[in-house]
């Protein structure tokens, strides 16, 4: 009997407890983070089968912090919910109350502070049974920011009883749901809306129906899509007798595919008879009137003259590409491995400036021919390989360990020859610039080969201006590629050609003498340095074993060259056979095997604060979706400019410190070995060679940096608010 009474008492307590929970909605979980209190609430205390549930994600944010609207503005991330629901229950999208502007330095964000309710309507099936409970769970994620931003999340749940008749509202949340409904954008029935884009601004014109009159002309427009307007730009409102106008600055580059301007228009004074709230939804068809300038990138593909069929933009592009190609070719002469070729050739001109001016001119044109023809062959080879489906770009031959090995052997022999270790036939230094002009025919061939050799050893380098010029050829016909490559060749050959045509300028250099032989020997050291650099390049492709075998092979080849020089006058046949034998042995030993491969470019690479991670397009997209800034270094071990930039800019303490402070993910796209994914990524930026430096802000278009960096250039680029631009 006591047990029976105890059971009845427990049942009574359970029934009362269930009634209290069902009536007060206390089955809801509430989660408190350091900055936000979050919970799912329901407008009604119960659920009726087949009827919608009016729920909401309630966020109570501490003072001086905020969360974000569906379009967060220049930075931030919108709040999102991932539902786990019983069978037959479906959740609609978040209904967003209109936001407020949240300025942050030069940026403008859109979001909420204080308390915000994100409404969600859930549909229930008619098969629900009265007396049962229905559990609704969701994972809510938001970014809460003040001076810093912190991503937060919570697993939330609410359990509601099912009742047969219409349930009563939950009195605790009546005002919260009413305020949230009032903050949702309404519709302007009967109003006409249109937008006109002129230059870098849009004018939104609203014409009310007869009888409507607004006292205020102060409006704020919030676009639904990101990167459409200049969020921090000043919006100017005006009103005439029958039209409201809002002038809105647009983001660069102008989105020329924009068909409608969609967003929320807020008027703090209300909309009169049209809508009781302060915000209305706008979708205005866009008309483009005049676009005078847009920055490169993004969707800005329509130039000013394109609308009337003019080709001025295309011709201007080719003209600039040719100019940049010529300047880049000039600068190539200053590269460490090219400079000895230029220096020895000029010293040859110094020695024979008097009495051989005709031969000098002929040699100048022969050198030009060697450079131009070599560039034509290179252009043709690149075009043919691309047509065959290969992903290649400027400097592609240095991606081959075999080519690197052979080039190292060639440079070693040239350096030994310049050092006086041996003399051979027309001499390898003749290929770098003959010091003798006795045989005009032979020396014309020397000059031609000098141009060929200069081209071969110049291709690993991408001088300033060259990247954009060569990248221009990617989407152009074959003849345009040949024109651009010809301009590079003319720039590279220009110093030698000019001095051959105007030998009087050589008088400004010291007169011929013993110093020239010393200078020739001195020129061997840049070539020795180039051999060391090529060994390093091979190491990145083949590992330490590859470097070791190359060095052993080079030592054997150098020994053979010394024996040749020692015996070539006493016993030429013995000297030649010995040199060939030693060279073959050295080449066999140095010949590269199968490369061990580089670190895979995976999307799952770990991110650390002090290291570069491998490039991956998927990883870039993932990081950007998380609101992370990314800096990409498109580089290669064989790219001299790349290595210089690392030492003078990217690896400087002030730059590294700023990367860490801003939590910028650093990504290396290593093109040392052929990688089609990197080649494709370069092409997307209009480039076909390295170096290329790309900064993705947390929000906005990528920023392209120059090919030659300084710490100030990098720091200025990553300080930009994210507008599409090219740092000069």
* pLDDT tier at 325, thresholds 50, 70, 90: confident
pLDDT for the residue 474: 52
Which one is predicted more confidently, 66 or 547? 66
| pLDDT exceeds 60 at position 488 | yes
The DSSP result for 208-263, as a single string, is PPTT---S----EEEESSTTSB-TTSPPEEEE-SS-EEEEEEBPSSP-TT--EEEE
Walk me through the domains of the chain, giving residue ranges and CATH numbers.
25-183 (2.60.40.1250), 192-305 (2.60.40), 314-590 (no CATH), 613-718 (3.40.30.10)
pLDDT for the residue 14: 37
Sheet holding 149-161, edge to edge: 80-84, 133-145, 149-161
Q: Whole-angstrom Cα distance, residue 78 to residue 291?
A: 32
Residue 175 burial (10 A CB sphere; 0-12, 13-18, 19+): exposed
Six-digit token string for 622: 């993932």
User: pLDDT by residue (tens digit) across 73-91?
Assistant: 887 789 999 999 999 999 9
* pLDDT tier at 22, thresholds 50, 70, 90: very low
| pLDDT exceeds 90 at position 57 | yes
User: pLDDT by residue (tens digit) across 97-145?
Assistant: 999 999 877 778 899 999 999 999 999 999 998 889 999 999 999 988 8
The DSSP result for 656-683, as a single string, is HHHHHHTTPEEEEEE-SS--HHHHHHHH
Eight-state DSSP code of residue 607 = P
By the 8 A CB rule, do 240 and 195 touch? no
Mean per-residue pLDDT over the chain, rounded: 76
* pLDDT tier at 181, thresholds 50, 70, 90: very high
Rounded percentage of the chain residues whose pLDDT exceeds 90: 21
Which one is predicted more confidently, 335 or 414? 414
User: pLDDT by residue (tens digit) across 248-302?
Assistant: 999 877 777 778 899 999 988 777 777 778 899 999 998 887 654 333 333 333 2
pLDDT for the residue 114: 94
Mean pLDDT calculated for residue range 167-176: 91
Least confident segment among 9-18, 52-61, 642-651, 703-712: 9-18
pLDDT for the residue 243: 83
Single out the residue of 242, 418, 257, 452 nearest to residue 340, CA to CA.
Answer: 418
Bridge partners for 139 per DSSP:
82, 155
The DSSP result for 477-545, as a single string, is -HHHHHHHHHHHHHHHHHHHHHHHH-GGGGGGSPPSSTHHHHHHHHTHHHHHHHHHHHHHHHHHHHHHH
Q: 687 CB contacts (<8 Å, ≥6 apart)?
A: 393, 467, 468, 470, 471, 474, 634
* pLDDT tier at 723, thresholds 50, 70, 90: very low
Least confident segment among 32-46, 281-295, 507-521: 507-521
Q: Whole-angstrom Cα distance, residue 640 to residue 410?
A: 19
The model carries a pTM of 0.43
């Amino acid at each position: 009997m006591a047990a029976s009474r105890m059971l009845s008492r427990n049942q009574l307590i359970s029934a009362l407890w269930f009634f209290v929970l069902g009536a007060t909605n206390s089955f809801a979980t509430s989660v408190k983070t350091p900055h936000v209190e979050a919970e799912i609430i329901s407008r009604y205390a119960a659920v009726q089968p087949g009827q919608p549930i009016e729920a909401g994600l309630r966020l109570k944010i501490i003072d001086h912090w905020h969360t974000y609207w569906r379009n967060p503005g220049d930075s931030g991330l919108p709040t999102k919910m991932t539902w786990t629901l019983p069978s037959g229950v479906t959740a609609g999208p978040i209904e967003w109350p209109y936001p407020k502007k949240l300025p942050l330095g030069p940026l403008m964000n859109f979001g909420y502070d204080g308390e915000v309710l994100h409404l969600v309507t859930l549909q229930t099936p008619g098969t629900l049974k009265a007396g049962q409970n229905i559990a609704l769970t969701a994972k809510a994620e938001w970014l809460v920011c003040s001076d810093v931003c912190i991503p937060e999340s919570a697993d939330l749940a609410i359990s509601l009883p099912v009742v047969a008749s219409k349930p009563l509202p939950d009195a605790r949340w009546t005002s919260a749901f009413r305020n949230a409904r009032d903050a949702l954008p309404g519709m302007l029935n009967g109003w006409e809306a249109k937008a006109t884009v002129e230059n870098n601004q849009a004018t939104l014109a609203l014409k009310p129906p007869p009888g409507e009159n607004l006292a205020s002309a102060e409006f704020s427009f919030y676009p639904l899509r990101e990167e459409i307007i200049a969020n921090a730009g000043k919006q100017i409102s005006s009103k005439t007798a029958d039209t409201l106008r809002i002038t809105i600055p647009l983001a660069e580059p102008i989105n020329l595919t924009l068909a409608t301007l969609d967003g929320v228009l807020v008027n703090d004074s209300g909309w009169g008879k049209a809508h009781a709230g302060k915000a209305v939804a706008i979708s205005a068809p866009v008309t483009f009137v005049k676009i005078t300038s847009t920055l490169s990138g993004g969707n800005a593909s329509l130039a000013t003259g394109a609308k009337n069929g003019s080709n001025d933009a295309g011709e201007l592009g080719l003209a600039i590409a040719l100019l940049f190609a010529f300047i880049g070719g000039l600068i190539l002469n200053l590269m460490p491995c090219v400079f000895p070729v230029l220096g020895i050739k000029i010293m040859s001109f110094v020695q024979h400036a008097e009495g051989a001016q005709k031969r000098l001119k002929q040699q100048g044109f022969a050198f030009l021919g060697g450079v131009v023809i070599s560039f034509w062959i290179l252009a043709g080879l690149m075009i043919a390989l691309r047509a065959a489906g290969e992903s290649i770009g400027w400097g592609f031959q240095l991606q081959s360990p075999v080519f690197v090995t052979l080039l190292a052997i060639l440079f070693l022999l040239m350096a030994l020859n310049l050092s006086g270790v041996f003399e051979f036939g027309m001499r390898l230094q003749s290929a770098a610039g003959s010091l003798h002009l006795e045989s005009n025919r032979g020396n014309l061939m020397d000059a031609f080969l000098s141009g060929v050799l200069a081209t071969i050893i110049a291709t690993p380098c991408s001088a300033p201006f060259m990247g954009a010029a060569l990248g221009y050829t990617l989407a152009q016909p074959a003849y345009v590629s040949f024109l651009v490559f010809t301009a590079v060749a003319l720039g590279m050959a220009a110093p030698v050609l000019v001095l051959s045509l105007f030998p009087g300028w050589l008088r400004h250099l010291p007169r011929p003498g013993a110093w020239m032989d010393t200078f020739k020997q001195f020129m061997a050291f840049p070539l020795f340095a180039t051999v060391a650099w090529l060994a390093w390049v091979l190491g990145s492709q083949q590992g330490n074993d590859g470097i070791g075998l190359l060095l052993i092979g080079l030592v054997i080849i150098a020994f053979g060259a010394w024996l040749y020089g020692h015996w070539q006058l006493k016993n030429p046949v013995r000297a030649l056979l010995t040199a060939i034998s030693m060279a073959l042995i050295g080449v066999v030993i140095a010949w590269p095997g199968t490369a061990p491969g580089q670190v895979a470019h995976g999307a799952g690479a770990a991110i650390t604060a002090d290291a570069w991670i491998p490039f991956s397009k998927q990883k870039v997209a993932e990081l950007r979706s998380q609101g992370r800034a990314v800096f990409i270094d498109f580089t290669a071990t064989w790219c001299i400019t790349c290595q210089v930039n690392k030492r003078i800019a990217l690896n400087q303490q002030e730059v590294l410190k700023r990367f860490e402070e801003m939590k910028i993910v650093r990504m290396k796209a290593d093109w040392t070995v052929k990688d089609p994914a990197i080649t494709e990524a370069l092409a997307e930026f209009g480039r076909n060679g390295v170096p290329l430096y790309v900064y993705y802000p947390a929000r906005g278009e990528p920023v392209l940096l120059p090919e030659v960096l300084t710490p100030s250039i990098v720091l200025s680029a990553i300080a930009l608010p994210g507008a599409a631009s090219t740092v000069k």
